[in-house]
């Protein structure tokens, strides 16, 4: 584990380095507080630090105070090394952001024991962060496909539509439905159906840009939101998505299965809609037309066409 030593006394610094290297630490040593702060601010910087209280440039307590202002990186366990023994000095150091203190002359056994305590605290913090991120992921993602869940993708669409209206841009929305998916479940079982859903999700993600959004809308339906995509490019992008599904069979535990997808497409620039519900209704109607027109195709929601899916289906 990386550890930072900051001490302007060369002999003290070398003694600390040798002691900690024997304990298996990867030691980074600096001789002033400003360099210490620089090291601790790096994305992959040390998460354990031994800081001498009295240093040029910025003292140990000052380094603690500056580090605690950084909220965008993992926690750093800081031990102040000081010759000060008065309670008010120790309290001042702890209130500045230090987690522990060690008085000079320090004992090697006490030093390593205190650092082991610091490591345990960091490990606990990491587990808590991991648990929090796991809970956040489960709350925002579909458990089968790992795509965004319906609530999140619809909320992101609403935000994008608001931003698009404000900036006079264009957001393209696609609603895709796997063709004849019921026959996959009925003929091969739900395990194979799940394999198809996961592979379709993977292909959808690979068919869009890293800053676009893909979510599982429900069952075998998927909602795709393309940011800053022109109306002229909407059909081209939708065909790329459709072809990404259809061009290769899905490899399953029961063998390769040809899978296709029908897509409805909506470009916000073509409409003057204020509600995400209206957008979803229009793109859903376009999807129904794609299904009615033979599946494995793309249909655009256009202002001058009827959007009644039942009327389209009985043509």
Per residue in 51-84, pLDDT tens?
Answer: 998 898 899 999 999 999 988 888 999 999 988 7
Catalytic residue among 160, 195, 199, 220: 220
Instruction: Please indicate whether residue 90 or residue 274 has the higher confidence score (pLDDT).
Output: 90
Look at residue 172 and tell me whether its pLDDT is greater than 80: yes
Is cis: bond before 105, omega within 30 of 0?
Answer: yes
Q: What is the pLDDT of residue 289?
A: 96
Q: What is the pLDDT of residue 101?
A: 87
Q: Domain 2-139 is classified in which CATH homologous superfamily?
A: Response regulator (3.40.50.2300)
Helices (H) and strands (E) in the chain, counts: 11, 12
Q: Residue 40's pLDDT band (boundaries 50, 70, 90)?
A: very high
133 in catalytic set: no
- Give the containing element (helix H, strand E) for 151: helix 150-167
Return the structure tokens found at 166.
């404000």
Any long-range contacts for 234-238 (C-beta under 8 Å, 24+ apart)? 234/172, 234/265, 234/266, 234/267, 234/300, 235/265, 235/298, 235/300, 237/172, 237/174, 237/208, 238/172, 238/174, 238/263, 238/265, 238/298
Residue ranges, comma separated, of all CATH 3.30.70.270 domains in the chain are: 150-313
Lowest mean pLDDT among 80-94, 163-177, 180-194: 80-94
Which residues share a beta bridge with 80?
51, 101
Cα–Cα distance for residue pair 116/219, rounded to 1 Å: 50
Return the structure tokens found at 139.
């709350």
Look at residue 89 and tell me whether its pLDDT is greater than 80: no
Look at residue 281 and tell me whether its pLDDT is greater than 70: yes
Taking the complete model, does pTM exceed 0.75, yes or no?
Answer: no
Measured in Å, how far apart are the chain's first and last C-alpha atoms? 70
**CATH number for domain 150-313, candidates 3.90.1150.10, 3.30.70.270, 2.40.30.10, 3.30.565.10:** 3.30.70.270
Q: What share of the chain is helix, strand, coil (3-state, %, to 5)?
A: 50, 20, 30
Q: What is the pLDDT of residue 103?
A: 85
Note the pLDDT tens digit of each residue in 95-108.
Answer: 989 999 888 888 89
Across the range 252-278, mean pLDDT stands at 91
Q: Residue 274's pLDDT band (boundaries 50, 70, 90)?
A: low
Is 170:225 a contact under the CB 8 Å cutoff?
no
What HEC string does 158-204 produce? HHHHHHHHHHCCCCEEEEEEECCHHHHHHHHCHHHHHHHHHHHHHHH
Task: State what percent of residues in the chain have pLDDT above 90.
Answer: 77
Residue ranges, comma separated, of all CATH 3.40.50.2300 domains in the chain are: 2-139
Cβ within 8 Å of residue 227, ≥6 positions away: 160, 171, 209, 211, 212, 213
Look at residue 270 and tell me whether its pLDDT is greater than 90: no
What does pLDDT average to over the chain? 91
Q: Residue 273's pLDDT band (boundaries 50, 70, 90)?
A: confident
């Amino acid at each position: 584990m990386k550890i930072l030593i900051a001490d302007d006394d060369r002999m003290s610094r070398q003694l600390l380095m040798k002691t900690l290297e024997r304990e298996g630490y990867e030691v980074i040593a600096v001789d002033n507080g400003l360099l210490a702060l620089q090291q601790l601010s790096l994305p992959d910087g040390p998460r354990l630090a031994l800081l001498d209280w009295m240093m040029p440039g910025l003292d140990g307590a000052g380094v603690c105070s500056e580090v605690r202002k950084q909220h965008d990186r993992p926690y750093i366990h800081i031990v102040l090394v000081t010759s000060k023994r008065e309670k008010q000095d120790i309290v001042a150091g702890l209130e500045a952001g230090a987690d522990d203190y060690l008085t000079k002359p320090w004992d090697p056994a006490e030093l390593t024991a205190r650092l082991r305590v610091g490591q345990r605290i960091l490990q606990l913090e990491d587990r808590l962060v991991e648990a929090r991120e796991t809970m956040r992921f489960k709350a925002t993602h579909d458990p089968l496909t790992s795509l965004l869940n319906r609530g999140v993708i619809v909320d992101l669409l609403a935000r994008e539509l608001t931003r698009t209206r404000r900036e006079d841009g264009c957001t393209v929305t696609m609603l895709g439905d796997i063709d004849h998916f019921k026959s996959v479940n009925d003929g091969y079982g739900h395990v194979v159906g799940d394999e198809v859903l996961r592979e379709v999700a993977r292909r959808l993600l690979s068919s869009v840009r890293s800053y676009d959004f893909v979510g599982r809308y429900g069952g075998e339906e998927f909602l795709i939101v393309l940011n800053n995509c022109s109306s002229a490019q909407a059909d081209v992008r939708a065909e790329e998505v459709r072809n990404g599904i259809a061009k290769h069979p899905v490899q399953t535990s029961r063998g390769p299965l040809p899978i296709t997808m029908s897509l409805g497409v909506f470009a916000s620039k073509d409409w003057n809609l204020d509600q995400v519900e209206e957008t979803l209704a229009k793109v859903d109607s376009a999807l129904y037309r794609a299904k009615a027109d033979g599946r494995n195709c793309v249909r655009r929601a256009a202002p001058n066409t009827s959007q009644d899916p039942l009327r389209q289906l009985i043509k």
